[in-house]
């Protein structure tokens, strides 16, 4: 019995030590359709405990300079500085849900979930409408 308890405790500690706070981390986004890098995005933790993320810079020199497809207050805003993720909550170690993500190319906002993988080196982010099965996933790569 002692071995079982020690084994479970060790497994929980290993999981907890891998859990990662994404506050202040930067990521290289990759277009899921072309496979090419798009932008550098930085996460920050909000006062309510959720995470948001904004574009720091566009990697592709031919990329859009402003969000012409965006609606409301983000219409025609520069891509650098544009907030594209909001309300993302950590629900388990390395798992996030409840957020939304803006696709500047289409000007549409989608529900968002994500999971850190490869010891925090990649972030699988899934944008969807309605249910997660009806969406698409992008794999972002950690920069710092």
- Sequence ranges of the domains in the chain: 20-142
pLDDT at 19: 60
DSSP per-residue string spanning 82-139: -EEEEEEEEEETTEEEEEEEEETTTTEEEEEEEEEETTTTEEEEEEESSSTTSEEEEE
Burial class of 112 by CB neighbour count within 10 A (0 to 12, 13 to 18, 19+): buried
Chain-centre distance for alpha carbon 123: 6
Please, are residues 95 and 115 in contact by the beta-carbon 8 Å criterion? yes
Position 144 confidence tier, pLDDT thresholds 50, 70, 90 = confident
pLDDT at 3: 53
Chain-centre distance for alpha carbon 62: 23
pLDDT tens figures, 8-21: 444 444 444 446 88
pLDDT at 30: 86
CATH ID of 20-142, from 2.160.10.10, 1.10.10.60, 3.40.190.10, 2.40.128.520: 2.40.128.520
């Amino acid at each position: 019995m002692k071995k079982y308890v020690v084994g479970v405790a060790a497994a929980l500690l290993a999981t907890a030590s891998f859990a990662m706070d994404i506050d202040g981390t930067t990521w290289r986004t990759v277009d899921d359709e072309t496979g090419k890098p798009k932008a550098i995005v930085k996460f920050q933790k909000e006062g309510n405990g959720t995470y948001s993320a904004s574009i720091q810079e566009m990697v592709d020199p031919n990329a859009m300079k402003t969000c012409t497809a965006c609606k409301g207050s983000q219409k025609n805003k520069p891509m650098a500085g544009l907030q594209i993720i909001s309300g993302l909550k950590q629900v388990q170690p390395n798992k996030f849900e409840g957020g939304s993500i803006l696709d500047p190319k289409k000007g549409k906002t989608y529900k968002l979930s994500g999971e850190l993988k490869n010891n925090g080196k990649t972030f699988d982010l899934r944008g969807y409408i309605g249910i997660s099965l009806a969406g698409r996933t992008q794999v972002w790569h950690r920069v710092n």
